[in-house]
Amino acid sequence: MASVEIDRVKKQFGDIEVLKEVSLSIRSGEFVVLVGPSGCGKSTLLRMVAGLELPSAGNIAIDSQDVTTMAPKLRGVAMVFQNYALYPHMTVRDNLKFGLELAKVDKKEIGRRVNEAAEVLGLSAHLDKKPGQLSGGQKQRVAMGRAMVRQPKVFLFDEPLSNLDAQLRVKMRTEISHLHRRLSATSIYVTHDQVEAMTLADRIAVMYQGKLEQVGSPLELYQNPKTKFVASFIGTPSMNFLQGELLQSLKGNVQASSAGVRPEHTFLANTGQGECVFLGKGQIVLVEPLGSLAYIHVRIHDHYLVSELKSDRFPHAGETVEFMITIL
Amino acid sequence: MNRKSSALAWGLLFPTLAVLALFVLYPAAQSFWLSFQDVEPFSKRSFFVGFENYQVLFNSPDYWQTVRVTLFFLLYTVIPSLVISLTVAVLLDANPFFQNMFRTLFLLPVAISSSMAAMLWIFIYNPTAGFLNYALDVLGIHGPNWLADPDWALVAVAVATVWKEIGFNIIFFLAGLTSIPLELKEAAELDGANSWQVFRYVTLPLLSPTLFFVSVVSVINSLQSFGQIHILTTGGPMGETTTLVYNLYRDAFVKFRTGLASSEAVILFGLILLATMVQFRMAKKRVHYG
Ligand SMILES: Nc1ncnc2c1ncn2[C@@H]1O[C@H](COP(=O)(O)OP(=O)(O)OP(=O)(O)O)[C@@H](O)[C@H]1O
Ligand SMILES: [Mg+2]
């Protein structure tokens, strides 16, 4: 277990500045999730912590020790890659053992750790198979196991679940969560998946165009986004930004040049609870039912808006309805 | 496969099969048949002699000498060419910046015709006017007459052969190396491997199919070398560069002993087959196909 200190780190590839002064302090044992749109520099930041990429400026410290230019193997970090990066010519057992053997760990100890990891991850029956004979979920587990057995100070995950189907992703997410609680190792986790970020993170760091937009607990980011980007990026479906007539209709309740409304804070007229404001009359363009709730796309005064409704009866596309929003 | 598509398959294969049959299978079968005949020079008359041709060969010390030369030639060409081309390919793979320039440079000898290449080496090896002995002279060493010295001629021919072949091997190795995902090497690096260990435990095993293919082709090429020997030494001095193939050529087209040459061809074929089988056997355990 160790803290990670990223101090004013920059990265350039040729003339392109990919990271612009990123600073982030991660406490020992903390689970930090990096989110942001594709190409914003998440992987690059992670790879610099791993030592696979050198920062152009700034420092990185692990456990208060400056590791900015240290070789990856001396840093005590383990990484789980998006495509697993298992050694295809080695059995699962050899994949797990590889790092330990290189580190000249005692044979008995290697056996003990490999068996323990296999047990925890449900791989015991597959130890003698090659990666090519495993399912996606099993490969994912081997990749996790390979990181675990080395007992690193810091775990790095680069979109580890993005190649799995939705069901398996939920399952592995829960397992990662359990594992983290068990090992309470410092972890940095990159993902595109909102739900993964919200459920796993102690803190989420939102990145945008090479900068950290906001760092905070999942609820903090959801309830008090500091920038419009964070507001629109966190939460599915995205927050609605009111303009023109819609903004006018809020007059007296907000004084701002722009206002955001989360889809779940909109209601059909006469169904809202608490303090409500009338938003306008609009036509339903699309209904996306998800079971107990539905996403309703409406057009009000030429502005499009997404609403999340909880009901057992949803309106249909083409209907004209009146919308309200709650004011918190 | 149903009847219709199997007919289609044969139809599509027919042109290739016909060409192979006409230019490969038929001559091969004919060689095999002729190896049991005594063929009179300049006539079509021949009569069956059983294993006599083979007996003559096996009882001839000169023939055993060509076997020895061939095996040494194999040793001098295949191993250096594999080691050099693999090393160069690994270096180029790690420095993409140099890749394009050097790839062309190393591939150039492959593109030159083998007689042109051999002429080039004749100039280099020339004992009085050649570049090699000039360079050695500068260093204060008196170089031998490379192509005429029984101790050096085979080595000299082998060097010219390796020079011509490494470019071809490098291309294959580079292609093999490029297909190894960078992530695997990075994972090994994070697992604590130094660059030698990354090469030994990740790169090399994943390159093994390429390595296997290149070694089989190199062995076959080496056993079939002809052009450079013909131009550089014509098999001399004192038979020190007369390989099985060169001896076969002389028996067939200089001495017109068709029957004898045919049995030599059969023996050479057997040797190549054996070498390839040994390689396949050795590869069984060590080659990893992803
Ligand atoms: N080796 C490299 N050379 C040049 N540019 C690079 C290199 N690696 C990354 N980049 C660029 O840096 C930017 C950030 O890349 P990075 O992989 O960190 O993005 P990311 O946030 O992980 O995106 P994604 O979510 O799609 O994985 C991209 O614009 C990418 O093109
Ligand atoms: Mg990435």
Question: How high is the pLDDT of residue B59?
Answer: 86
Tens-digit pLDDT profile for residues B216-245: 999 999 998 998 899 888 887 888 889 989
Ligand nearest to the Cα of A37, by number: 1
Cβ contact A73–B188 (<8 Å) = no
Which residue's alpha carbon is at the smallest distance from atom 22 of ligand 1?
A43
Question: How high is the pLDDT of residue A311?
Answer: 77
Question: How high is the pLDDT of residue A175?
Answer: 86
- Would you call B184 an interface residue with chain A, using a CB distance cutoff of 8 Å? yes
Q: Which of residues 186-205 of B touch A (CB under 8 A)?
A: 186-194, 197, 201-202, 205
Residue B42 lies in a domain: no
CATH number, position B252: 1.10.3720.10
Nearest CA-CA distance, residue A194 and chain B, Å: 26
* Of residues A177, A125, A118, A109, the one with CA closest to residue A148: A118
Q: For residue B279, what are the domain limits?
A: 59-286
Which residues neighbour A119 within 8 Å (Cβ) at sequence distance 6 or greater?
Answer: none
Last residue of a domain, one of A233, A248, A276: A233
Confidence bin at A120 (pLDDT 50/70/90): confident
Report pTM: 0.81
Residue B192 lies in a domain: yes
- Residue A39 pLDDT > 80: yes
Mean pLDDT, chain B, whole residue set: 88
Question: What token pair was written down for A143?
Answer: 């990749």
- Residue A59 pLDDT > 90: yes
Nearest CA-CA distance, residue A215 and chain B, Å: 28
Question: How high is the pLDDT of residue A115?
Answer: 93
* Of residues A37, A54, A72, the one with CA closest to residue A45: A54
Nearest by CB: A87 against B189, B190, B202: B202
Overall average pLDDT of the A98-125 stretch: 92
Overall average pLDDT of the B127-131 stretch: 83
Same domain as A322, residue A195: no
Residue B84 lies in a domain: yes
- Would you call A89 an interface residue with chain B, using a CB distance cutoff of 8 Å? yes
Residue A42 lies in a domain: yes
Tens-digit pLDDT profile for residues B25-49: 998 898 888 888 888 777 778 788 8
Same domain as A147, residue A39: yes
- Residue B1 pLDDT > 70: no
Mean pLDDT, chain A, whole residue set: 88
Lowest mean pLDDT: which of A162-166, A268-272, B98-102, B261-265?
A268-272
Which residue's alpha carbon is at the smallest distance from atom 4 of ligand 1?
A13
CATH number, position A83: 3.40.50.300
d(CA A90, CA B188): 12
- Residue A313 pLDDT > 80: no
- The complex's ipTM works out to 0.84
Residues with CB under 6 A from ligand 1: A 13, 18, 36, 38-44
The type of residue at A188 is I
Residue B245 lies in a domain: yes
Tens-digit pLDDT profile for residues A83-106: 999 999 999 999 999 999 999 999
Cα separation values, A82 from A201, B184, B200, Å: 18, 12, 24
Question: How high is the pLDDT of residue A101?
Answer: 93
Report the number of distinct structural domains present in chain B. Answer: 1
Residue B138 lies in a domain: yes
Question: What token pair was written down for B250?
Answer: 């002389």
Residue A96 lies in a domain: yes
- Would you call A48 an interface residue with chain B, using a CB distance cutoff of 8 Å? no
Same domain as A271, residue A226: no
Question: How high is the pLDDT of residue A254?
Answer: 61
Same domain as A27, residue A75: yes
- Chain B residues within 8 A of A105 when measuring between CB atoms: none
Instruction: Classify the C-alpha dihedral B46-B48-B52-B53 as positive or negative.
Output: positive
Cβ contact A102–B205 (<8 Å) = no
CA of A88 to the centre of ligand 1 (A): 26
Residue A250 lies in a domain: no
Q: In this predicted model, which residue has the larger pLDDT, A277 or B85?
A: B85
Residue B137 lies in a domain: yes
- Nearest residue of A to residue B197 by CA position? A102
d(CA B242, CA B71): 11
- Residue A19 pLDDT > 90: yes
- Residue B271 pLDDT > 70: yes
CATH number, position A317: 2.40.50.140
Cβ contact A79–B190 (<8 Å) = yes
Which residue's alpha carbon is at the smallest distance from atom 17 of ligand 1?
A43
* Torsion angles phi and psi, residue A56, rounded to 5: -80, -25
Which residue's alpha carbon is at the smallest distance from atom 19 of ligand 1?
A39
Same domain as A278, residue A176: no
CA of A18 to the centre of ligand 2 (A): 12
Q: How many CB pairs under 8 A join A and B?
A: 61
Tens-digit pLDDT profile for residues B45-74: 878 888 888 888 888 888 898 999 999 999
Same domain as A165, residue A105: yes
CA of A93 to the centre of ligand 1 (A): 33
Which contacts qualify for A313-317: CB closer than 8 Å, 24 or more apart?
A314/A287, A314/A289, A315/A268, A315/A284, A315/A287, A316/A284, A316/A287, A317/A284, A317/A285, A317/A286, A317/A287
CA of A38 to the centre of ligand 1 (A): 8
- Residue A143 pLDDT > 60: yes
Q: Which of residues 1-40 of B touch A (CB under 8 A)?
A: none
Nearest CA-CA distance, residue A89 and chain B, Å: 6
Instruction: Classify the C-alpha dihedral A261-A264-A265-A267 as positive or negative.
Output: positive
3-state SS track over chain A: CCCEEEEEEEEEECCEEEEEEEEEEECCCCEEEEECCCCCCHHHHHHHHHCCCCCCEEEEEECCEECCCCCHHHCCEEEECCCCCCCCCCCHHHHHHHHHHHCCCCHHHHHHHHHHHHHHHCCHHHCCCCHHHCCHHHHHHHHHHHHHHCCCCEEEEECCCCCCCHHHHHHHHHHHHHHHHHHCCEEEEECCCHHHHHHHCCEEEEEECCEEEEEECHHHHHHCCCCHHHHHHCCCCCCEEECHHHHHCCECCECCCCEEECHHHEEECCCCCCCEEEEEEEEEEEEEECCCEEEEEEEECCEEEEEEEECCCCCCCCCEEEEEEECC
Question: How high is the pLDDT of residue A320?
Answer: 86
Question: How high is the pLDDT of residue A188?
Answer: 96
Report the number of distinct structural domains present in chain A. Answer: 2
Of ligand 1's atoms, which has the minimum distance to the CA of residue A16?
5
Question: How high is the pLDDT of residue A272?
Answer: 58
Q: For residue A20, what are the domain limits?
A: 4-233
Residues that place a CB less than 5 A from ion ligand 2: A 43
Overall average pLDDT of the B73-89 stretch: 94
The type of residue at A232 is S
Q: In this predicted model, which residue has the larger pLDDT, B83 or B143?
A: B83
Nearest by CB: A83 against B183, B191, B290: B183
Confidence bin at A252 (pLDDT 50/70/90): low
Query: Tokens 């398996």 — which residue?
Result: A168
